[in-house]
Amino acid sequence: MDASSGPRRLWKTRCPERQARATDLLRTSGARSRAFRPQGGSGSAGVHVNGGMPRSRCTAALVANVQSLENSRGVRKHPGVDTADRLADWIALVDARYPERDAAAWDHVGLQVGDPRDAVTAVLVCLDVTEATLEEAGRLGADLILAHHPLLFRPLPSLTPSTAAGRLALRAARSGIAILAAHTNLDAAVPGTSDPVAAILSLTGVRALAPQSGPRPGRVKLVTFIPHDDTARVLGAMAEVGAGVIGEYDHCSFRVAGTGTFRPSAAAAPAVGERQRLNEVAEDRLEIVVTRDRLGAVVTALTGEHPYEEVAWDAYPLVDPPPPPEARDKGLGLVGMLPAPLTLRQVAATLAGRLPAPGLRVAGNLAATVRCVAVCGGAGDSLIPNALAAQADVYVTGDLRHHPALDARTMGLALIDAGHYATEAAALPAFRAALAATAGERGLRAQLLASEVSTDPWTTYPGEGESAGETS
Ligand SMILES: [Zn+2]
């Protein structure tokens, strides 16, 4: 935790209407009902109030629904807080910085509890939603908890205190505290959850341990020749199926006017010109970039929309420049090189001195030389094969289980288990700072508070000054 950026009590009086409304949060429908997003597994009896909507559309749909709900039902204004941020603003902000589409398919991120129309005056950033963090949010007057770990993750048969998630979600709703989660979308970001651990070791040349993007399809420059009056229509048809996309821009093309010539045979059926005579037609030379995987569809669109019987087109392969060294794919975990070789003992000592962990578990020869380090904040069992494939000397993560650890040792990979909490809590200050910067750009005014509650469920026994066997 970043003690220097701890919470400040800036807002003491809760909005009375918001508190009164808290009790009806569970009876809402439409955009509200999507707030509860339990995981749907096969055969699950869980509640599927999300209606199967693809996650990438959820946030946009929620925000769009705010306006339609306001129009249809009338907005209940909060006296005195008409100019406050709305929860919808914060959903959009988090999605802009950490897009929900970047989250793993099995994950449940975004709004979990709350009404996008509600006012937000203070946001508490934390790793987990627990009784303690809810208590902290209430004490600090935070009406939004922005947590790394989703509270609602597994299917909930009911929203009652009979389960831990149900108990906490119910308490949050009753207290008028919304919950928003940024989980694997934060893990995969650049920078993301694993960066602070990599920074502690000063890793260089870091890249994603499990990159999100596969190999990029190559590109071609498609060049075609179109009668001037038809150019816009043909361009539109090609762009409709994916031609001309460069970054965040589509319909990217270039054209110059010129003259086309052709002589149709006696059997031809020319759209313009005469058979068996040399014709000259005013045409545009249109250039447009196309990825190889879209080329077939684009050529089909071109020939389908072009007026000519025979359409002239050429596709030139393009050479992509190598990415700049600082460019990095999004993805889970990181792998990089130490500036100079260290022993495993030195790596462990460096991490133990900088992470909020009561101790580390180390598997491997402490005198072994380490050059390449793989890192994954949180529970990293599943990326052991990636660490092996990256030829890492040691893999730093948390929550490692017995058998995967034995398998890793068999394959020659050393392990450092620094704990789930410690390897992720280190990322919270940067997470909060990134959101604060984006909030400032968007003119949002809610206070961003850093939780001071440790949600690490573990303590080490015997602790400092204790010895095993003491009973008092
Ligand atoms: Zn985690």
User: What is the pLDDT, as a whole number, of residue 81?
Assistant: 47
Ligand 1 mean position to 29 CA, how many Å?
A: 31
C-beta pairs of 134-141 under 8 Å, 24+ apart in sequence: 134/168, 134/171, 134/172, 134/175, 134/177, 136/7, 136/451, 136/452, 136/453, 137/175, 137/177, 138/175, 138/177, 139/9, 140/7, 140/9, 140/11, 140/449, 141/9, 141/10, 141/11, 141/12, 141/13, 141/14
Ligand 1 mean position to 352 CA, how many Å?
A: 19
Ligand 1 mean position to 181 CA, how many Å?
A: 12
| Rounded-to-integer distance, Cα 261 and Cα 241, Å | 29
Burial status of residue 102 (CB atoms within 10 A of its CB: 0-12, 13-18, 19 or more): buried
Residue 290: partners with Cβ closer than 8 Å, 6 or more residues away = 219, 220, 221, 222, 238, 242, 243, 244, 298, 315
Residue type for position 151? L
User: What is the pLDDT, as a whole number, of residue 212?
Assistant: 84
Give percent helix, percent strand, percent coil of the chain, each to the nearest 5: 35, 25, 45
Ligand 1 mean position to 75 CA, how many Å?
A: 37
Burial pattern 192-206, b for ≥16 Cβ within 10 A else e, equals bbbbbbbbbbebeeb
| Rounded-to-integer distance, Cα 132 and Cα 128, Å | 10
Asked: is 195-212+329-422 a CATH 3.20.20.10 domain? The reply is no
User: What is the pLDDT, as a whole number, of residue 82?
Assistant: 59
Q: Give average pLDDT by consecutive 10-residue segment, the chain, 472 residues.
A: 32 38 37 32 31 44 53 42 85 95 93 97 98 98 98 92 96 98 96 96 95 76 96 96 91 96 94 92 96 93 95 91 70 96 98 91 97 97 96 97 96 97 95 95 95 92 76 62
Q: What are the residues whose beta carbon lies below 5 Å from ligand 1 (ion)?
A: 378, 424
Closest by alpha carbon to 47, among 65, 16, 26, 63? 26
Ligand 1 mean position to 3 CA, how many Å?
A: 21
Q: pLDDT tens-digit profile of 373-425?
A: 999 999 999 999 999 999 999 999 999 999 999 999 999 999 999 999 999 99
Task: Please answer whether residues 186 and 147 qualify as being in contact, where contact means their C-beta atoms are separated by less than 8 angstroms.
Answer: no
Ligand 1 mean position to 9 CA, how many Å?
A: 28
Ligand 1 mean position to 320 CA, how many Å?
A: 36
User: What is the pLDDT, as a whole number, of residue 215?
Assistant: 57
Burial status of residue 97 (CB atoms within 10 A of its CB: 0-12, 13-18, 19 or more): middle
Ligand 1 mean position to 424 CA, how many Å?
A: 6
User: What is the pLDDT, as a whole number, of residue 163?
Assistant: 95
User: What is the pLDDT, as a whole number, of residue 328?
Assistant: 84
Ligand 1 mean position to 262 CA, how many Å?
A: 66
Residues of the chain with CATH 3.40.1390.30: 3-187+427-450, 195-212+329-422
The pTM (predicted TM-score) of the whole model is: 0.66
Please state whether beta strands 369-379 and 447-450 pair in parallel, antiparallel, or not at all (unpaired): unpaired
Q: Tokens at residue 128, please?
A: 């987990």
Ligand 1 mean position to 452 CA, how many Å?
A: 17
Ligand 1 mean position to 152 CA, how many Å?
A: 14
Q: Tokens at residue 353, please?
A: 């001195």
Residue type for position 23? T
Determine how many CB atoms are found less than 10 A away from the CB of residue 210.
21
- Computed on alpha carbons and rounded to an integer, the radius of gyration of the chain in Å comes to 28
| Rounded-to-integer distance, Cα 150 and Cα 104, Å | 13
Task: Please answer whether residues 271 and 307 qualify as being in contact, where contact means their C-beta atoms are separated by less than 8 angstroms.
Answer: yes
| Rounded-to-integer distance, Cα 16 and Cα 12, Å | 12
Backbone angles phi, psi at 319, to 5 degrees: -100, 120
Ligand 1 mean position to 277 CA, how many Å?
A: 73
Residue 349: partners with Cβ closer than 8 Å, 6 or more residues away = none
Ligand 1 mean position to 244 CA, how many Å?
A: 39
Ligand 1 mean position to 157 CA, how many Å?
A: 24
User: What is the pLDDT, as a whole number, of residue 309?
Assistant: 93
Specify the 3-state DSSP secondary structure of 69: helix
How many angstroms separate the Cα of 256 from the Cα of each of 225, 243, 253, 426, 441?
10, 18, 11, 55, 40
Ligand 1 mean position to 149 CA, how many Å?
A: 6
Axis crossing angle, helix 428-442 with helix 87-97, rounded to the nearest 10: 120
Ligand 1 mean position to 293 CA, how many Å?
A: 36
| 8-state DSSP, 78 | P
Ligand 1 mean position to 376 CA, how many Å?
A: 10
Ligand 1 mean position to 272 CA, how many Å?
A: 65
| Rounded-to-integer distance, Cα 38 and Cα 153, Å | 6
Ligand 1 mean position to 187 CA, how many Å?
A: 9
Ligand 1 mean position to 420 CA, how many Å?
A: 6
Half-sphere exposure at residue 375, Cβ-oriented, CA atoms within 13 angstroms: 34
Residue 336: partners with Cβ closer than 8 Å, 6 or more residues away = 198, 203, 204, 205, 206, 207, 372, 373, 375
CATH architecture of 3-187+427-450: 3-Layer(aba) Sandwich (3.40)
Asked: is 219-317 a CATH 3.10.20.30 domain? The reply is no
Q: Tokens at residue 452, please?
A: 């001071």
Ligand 1 mean position to 193 CA, how many Å?
A: 9
Task: Please answer whether residues 178 and 111 qualify as being in contact, where contact means their C-beta atoms are separated by less than 8 angstroms.
Answer: yes
Ligand 1 mean position to 96 CA, how many Å?
A: 21
User: What is the pLDDT, as a whole number, of residue 192?
Assistant: 95
